[in-house]
Chain A
Amino acid sequence: MSQLLSVTTLAETLRIAVPYACAAVGGVWAERSGVIQIGLEGVLLSSAFGSVAVAHATGSMVAGLLAGVLLGVGQSALHAWLVERTKIDAVVSGIALNLLAYAATRMALRALYDSSSNSPGIEGFRVGPMGSEGWQLLARVLMDPVSVLAFIVIVASPWVMRNTRLGLRVRACGENPTAAQAAGIDVSRTRVIALCISGAICALGGVHLAFDQHRFEAGMSGGRGFIALAAVVLSGWRAGRAAVACIAFGLLEALQIGLQDMARTSQAATLIQLLPYVATLLVLGLGIGRGAAPAGIGQSPE
């Protein structure tokens, strides 16, 4: 047990939680503006790929980071444009963009690296001590530039949403688009902006995922976008709480890895993975926090 509750576990928890938290906070930004976004998974995937492709081609990790974020913003903005301008149902657009990201990254993997499973390795950011355990690991996780960036935007998000003019507008569009429009807010434009922010934050998660593995693997997002969606719902569409929920999911996953290392017998440990989904279903079903969803989600101004 002491082995599980260690500094290593804490470091692993934080490392694992970064992509979840980024995607979840990105999801909060999108949905608080009133756009249903089930395409977080696709944003994670394409930004991970974009960052690896550019980092590999240029040898610059910063360029890779920028490319990943740009791709995430682009994809998220495309979703907003499809939903707001061409009036495609947001669920349909989300599904299609997930499918597109999944297929296009695999196709590009074949095209660029002639591989069906993974890209060649990249350096990633190497900051801090090299050890793989204890304080050294924790220090490295905390000093990782992508994690630091992610931490900043995640902490800033609730504040921006609560205290700035932009945040107020975004929330207004999500709560009551008709009233927002009557108040002179350009609802479509605000939503596109919110989705760009959402895409950028979510993409940080994708970049972290890829840099952390030092390469891109086909389908490497592995459902994290959907877990993030669960966190969004569980948190009642609040960025701070969503991030905390993601850290809890990260802890679960870290414990699970620890358990599997200690004893390879625990088949039941895999069932722990059910927890985020079952918890979401229960919270929704029991009506805890009913009415927490933005009231105008999925609606256009009349």
Chain B
Amino acid sequence: MSRGTEKVLSRWLPPARMRLVFAGAGALLVFNLVVAAFGHGPAETLGRAFAGTWGTAYGMGQVLFKATPLLLTGLAFHVALRSGLFNIGTEGQLALGALVAGWLGPMLGGLPWPIALPIVIGAAVLVAAAYSAIAGLMRARLGVHEIISCIMLNRCVDVFLPWVLVAGLGATALRTDDLGPEARLPGLETWIPALSGSAVSVAFPLAVAITFGTYAWLERSRAGREMRWVGLGATACEAQGVDVRRRQVQAMVLSGALAGLVCTGTVLGYKGYYELGLGAGAGFSGIAVAMVGRSGPVALVAAALVFGTLAQAGLTINAQVPKEAMNVLEAVVILLVAAASGVAGKERAAVVVAEDDPAEESA
């Protein structure tokens, strides 16, 4: 490619847009290959997938419902990544948060909703943030890489949850009791009758608001700015007197807090209880969302909608093509986008340089 074309290309396709185009083209290609492999016409299947998602008001509602947890996990992952940390522990954090919501919710019967809702949501956020803080503290104070600790913490939750449901809460069907109406988030169908029957609740607009709020906070507040600086160059920050370790812990805690909201929205807005396995895999899908939509809040919401569409489309064509095909797509998209943009390359490189051993330093 000549210099000139490259220039034109980069004007029309800035990296942010390039990522989306790349992801879309790659996903479409793999989708067609998979569909063809199962002996169906790609056009016909695509039509069916479209009809089940954006074709009807119900389908749209389902897409928004699927996009809600993806948006929040994407945001959670993004926040940690901005300060150069990989929070791959969202998977465990979101399960813990949802469990707390499902456990606490039924106990608040009789309280008016303006009191009950904040308590339930707050508790879920608190527990998830505290769990995430373990990884953050271990990274910042003990120099333990957050990836290993997050994997171990995720696995601990996997073992712990069934045990606590059976032994701790005495649940027989691996789920919590039903939530009372005071701890529920209303469905969007209350206001938009066209969405009736779909699972989308006010959790979606709330998640969008939280996304914009978090981005604004990262841009405007001092703490948020310093977190981003740490991601760009921890050594330079240290030299400038920024408390790098404190900011790293804060970023992990904030990321965990957001992860705590992920399935709480599903529990309060749709399910009405927590059951084992709810939201499984959302943590990893969130990584895909964060990568595709990392250039800003609008891009993040758009990416969540894209992956939400994929998830819902997978369900509508499940009879013809296994819905796991959409997870295959997701994996391919992650790799394509990562390859196209050198994802996190800059942030991570900066941190690797500054990755010091606290023990060595104090010695």
A298 interface residue (CB < 8 Å to B)? yes
User: With an 8 A cutoff between CB atoms, is B114 at the interface?
Assistant: no
CA distance A110 to B325 in the complex (A): 10
Taken together as a complex, chains A and B put the C-alpha atoms of A299 and B355 apart, in Å, by 12
Is B34 at the interface (CB under 8 A from chain A)? yes
Contact between chains at A95 and B287 (CB < 8 Å): yes
Report B311 CB to chain A, min CB distance, Å.
Answer: 12
Query: Does A271 contact B159, Cβ atoms closer than 8 Å?
Result: yes
Which size class do A's interface residues fall under? 35 or more
State which of B138, B142, B330, B338 has its C-beta within 8 Å of the C-beta of A92: B338
Q: Is B331 an interface residue (CB 8 A)?
A: yes
Within the complex, which residue of B88, B159, B332, B338 is in contact with A273, where a contact is CB–CB below 8 Å? B159
Tell me the bound Cα distance from A86 to B339 in angstroms.
Answer: 6
| Residue in chain B with minimal CB distance to A218 | B324
Binding-face segment, B119-127, B150-158, B202-210:
B150-158
Report the minimum CB–CB distance from B46 to chain A (whole Å).
18
Is B130 in contact with chain A by the CB < 8 A criterion? no
Q: Does A97 contact B (CB under 8 A)?
A: yes
Chain A residues whose CB sits within 8 angstroms of the CB of B153 once the complex forms: 277, 281
Tell me if B345 is interfacial: C-beta within 8 Å of chain A: yes
In the bound complex, what is the Cα–Cα distance between A284 and B141 (angstroms)? 12
Residue of A92, A116, A230 most packed against chain B (CB within 10 A): A92
Judge whether B38 and A111 touch: CB under 8 Å.
Answer: yes
* Minimum CB distance partner of B358 in chain A: A287
Contact assessment for B155 and A99 in the assembled complex, using a CB-CB cutoff below 8 Å: no
Write out the residue numbers on chain A whose beta carbons fall within 8 Å of the beta carbon of B166.
267
**Contacting pair B322 A111 (CB below 8 A):** yes
Known: A277-B153, A281-B134. 12 other contacts (CB 8 A): A38-B147, A82-B335, A82-B339, A86-B338, A89-B343, A91-B88, A100-B328, A103-B326, A106-B324, A107-B328, A280-B152, A287-B142
29 A-B pairs whose Cβ atoms sit less than 8 Å apart in the complex = A38-B147, A38-B151, A82-B339, A88-B338, A89-B343, A92-B338, A93-B335, A96-B335, A96-B338, A100-B328, A103-B324, A103-B325, A103-B326, A103-B331, A104-B324, A104-B328, A107-B34, A107-B328, A226-B154, A230-B152, A271-B159, A271-B163, A274-B156, A280-B148, A281-B138, A281-B152, A285-B138, A287-B143, A290-B143
